[in-house]
């Protein structure tokens, strides 16, 4: 299949999953995980209807921004953000999906203040409690939301999760359900009255159907759109 056909197919699968869950397909945003893709491929994807690109490396983000590759789409940062790279991301992406610590939160606030902007963020939750993964525990997520609520240049929009790589289909559904409960719980607490907790980012190529069934409002899809990545970049 060509890229254009895969994009159309994935969109149809998202819509079908939404309808099956009694949801409006328009509630769900497709974020194309564009890591390792070329400028041309990104442009082609946007021309074919991709409205949000997700980058997880600062270097690639900057290169593509310089090329103007994302023209016509929004860009989100979805990868691990190192402290010394915060200044290359804040204000350049519409949403930082991967905020998992107090220090990073404070640095984003500082940079956003310097630029005189409000940066939208998500808190990344390590819902499978995996040692090798970054992401806040649910408890830490509550604490981060409370801190974010006191920061003038940060707007907390919701939560993001990358559950453990599932060995079997359906295995991650309970993690998605847990995320949904945490999301509803945190939104109800109104840590920041000016914030809108309206984004629950979960589900990738292999499991976005389950994520949508459990309430995802944004799915991040790479291989399902672009085909397999080189093995050494499979995890991003």
- Under the rule (CB under 6 A), what is the footprint of ligand PLP? 33, 35, 56, 78-79, 162, 204-205, 220-224, 236
Q: From the CB of 190, what's the least distance to ligand PLP, in Å?
A: 28
C-beta of 151: minimal distance to ligand PLP in Å? 24
DSSP string covering the chain: --HHHHHHHHHHHHHHHHHHTT--GGG-EEEEE-TT--HHHHHHHHHTT--EEEE--HHHHHHHHHHTTTTTSEEEE-SPPPGGGGGGTTTTSSEEEEE--HHHHHHHHHHHHHHT--EEEEEEE-TT--TTS--B-HHHHHHHHHHHHT-TTEEEEEEEE-PPPPSSTTTTHHHHHHHHHHHHHHHHHTSSTT----EEE---TTTHHHHHHTT-SEEEESHHHH-PPPGGGTT-
Give residue number: closest CB to ligand PLP.
Answer: 222
The residue among 155 and 220 lying less far from ligand PLP, judged by its C-beta, is: 220
CB 152 to ligand PLP: min, Å? 28
Closer residue to ligand PLP (CB): 80 or 92:
80
In whole angstroms, how close is the CB of 189 to ligand PLP at the nearest point?
A: 26
Residue whose CB is less far from ligand PLP, 77 or 191? 77
Minimum separation from the CB atom of position 109 to ligand PLP (A): 23
Q: Which of 79/128 has CB closer to ligand PLP?
A: 79
Kindly tell me which of 156 and 204 has the beta carbon lying closer to ligand PLP.
Answer: 204
DSSP 212-227: HHTT-SEEEESHHHH-
- Residue closer to ligand PLP by CB (options 141, 151) is 141
- Least distance in Å: CB of 23 to ligand PLP? 21
């Amino acid at each position: 299949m060509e890229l254009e056909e895969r994009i159309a197919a994935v969109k149809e699968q998202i819509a079908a999953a939404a309808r099956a869950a009694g949801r409006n397909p328009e509630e769900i945003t497709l974020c194309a995980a564009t890591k390792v893709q070329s400028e041309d491929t990104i442009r082609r994807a946007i021309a074919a209807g991709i409205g949000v690109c997700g980058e997880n490396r600062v270097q690639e983000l900057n290169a593509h921004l310089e090329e103007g590759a994302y023209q016509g789409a929004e860009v989100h940062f979805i990868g691990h953000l190192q402290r010394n790279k915060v200044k290359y991301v804040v204000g350049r992406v519409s949403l930082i999906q991967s905020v998992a610590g107090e220090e990073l939160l404070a640095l984003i606030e500082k940079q956003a203040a310097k630029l005189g902007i409000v940066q939208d963020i998500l808190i990344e939750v390590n819902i499978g409690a995996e040692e090798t993964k970054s992401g806040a525990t649910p408890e830490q997520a509550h604490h981060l939301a409370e801190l974010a609520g006191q920061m003038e240049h940060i707007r907390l929009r919701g939560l993001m999760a990358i559950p453990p790589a599932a060995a079997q289909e359906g295995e991650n559904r309970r993690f998605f359900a847990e995320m949904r409960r945490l999301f509803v719980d945190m939104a109800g607490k109104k840590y920041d009255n000016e914030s809108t907790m309206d984004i629950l980012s979960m589900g990738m190529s292999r499991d976005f159907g389950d994520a949508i069934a459990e309430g995802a409002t944004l799915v991040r899809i790479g291989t399902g759109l672009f085909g397999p990545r080189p093995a050494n970049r499979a995890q991003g």
